[in-house]
Amino acid sequence: MTRDEFRVEKAACLAPMAGVTDRAFREICIEYGASCVTTEMVSAKGLVIGDRKSRMLMEVTGAEMPAAVQIFGCEPVIMAKAASQAEKTGCVSVDINMGCPAPKVSGHGGGAALMKDPVLAAEIAKACAEAVSIPVTCKIRTGWDEGSVNAVEMAKRLEDAGVSALTVHGRTRRQMYAPPVDYDTIRAVKESVGIPVTGNGDVIDPASAQLMLDKTGCDAVMVGRGALGAPWVFKIINEYLKTGAVIPEPPIEERMAVMLRHIARLCEYKGDYVGIREARKHAGWYIKGIRGAASFRREIGSLESLDELKALADKVIESQVDES
């Protein structure tokens, strides 16, 4: 896909989340209608020096398309080299992380720290756009803190640098993930540029997705934490945006079946030892809100095998039937 062919569908896409949006989760979200998925953020420096973990993080497959690879860093030359490596994976676009609030990223000049230096941010974007033939996008925040809300300036500079689309998380870095979402600044960004803008922040269901679209005029919405343990959220949101129909949440049997399919892939791709340990957090999200969740969560904390997870899933289903 070339920059001229790049389009943003009026639908819900999956946000990049470190430690969450790996291959197994991305595939499940695509199956449930995510319009696009993005890898966990990948260190540009790690890619350039040949770090094995960084290379693994950016691997994408046909089963998760359309998929973007997200990179982070603060040096234009290194970021351009990383973007070139990312393009070779077959991804549809390269996304530059300019919004991560984590100290280990922003504390070293990457992620949200770039909000403090729009000139450098634009230099990075330009270098990446010139290094690849596929679209380059950027994910930004509204600013570093409430005293430096500069997303509009950033957006204009990034558009001029050759960026094909933007995602705006409606919070400052100082806010981290605390409310409220700044819809006004997202709208101001949308009105200031001619490229597609995706709104991000507290989109968890059809109502919040519609609210984001109505308040900002953005082209699409991005779902992050709302997809944890609920990959079907994309199907629900997208059907509502398309037809106005409200699809009910899946029954407990389907929820547990999706969880098991997800974790089975996790174990297949990462090995049983790593997979089942990462499964513990995902399983905790899949049972959120059900009766007896606290008790089941204690059992999840000591899971050692896929068979144990299957037995727990059966127990969860039986408990809901018994009490219904």
From the list 13, 29, 91, 100, the catalytic residue is: 100
CA separation for the pair 44, 136 (Å, rounded): 14
Whether residue 100 lies in the annotated active site:
yes
In the chain the first and final C-alpha atoms are separated, in Å, by 50
User: Residue type for 46, please?
Assistant: G
In 132-205, alpha helices (H): 151-160, 183-192
Among 87, 97, 89, 40, CA closest to 60: 89
> Do the beta carbons of residue 203 and residue 214 sit within 8 Å?
no
Give the pair of three-digit tokens for residue 10. 């009026």
SS3 category, 165: strand
DSSP string over 194-233: SS-EEEESS--SHHHHHHHHHHH--SEEEESGGGTT-TTH
CA separation for the pair 92, 87 (Å, rounded): 8
Q: List residues with catalytic annotation.
A: 100
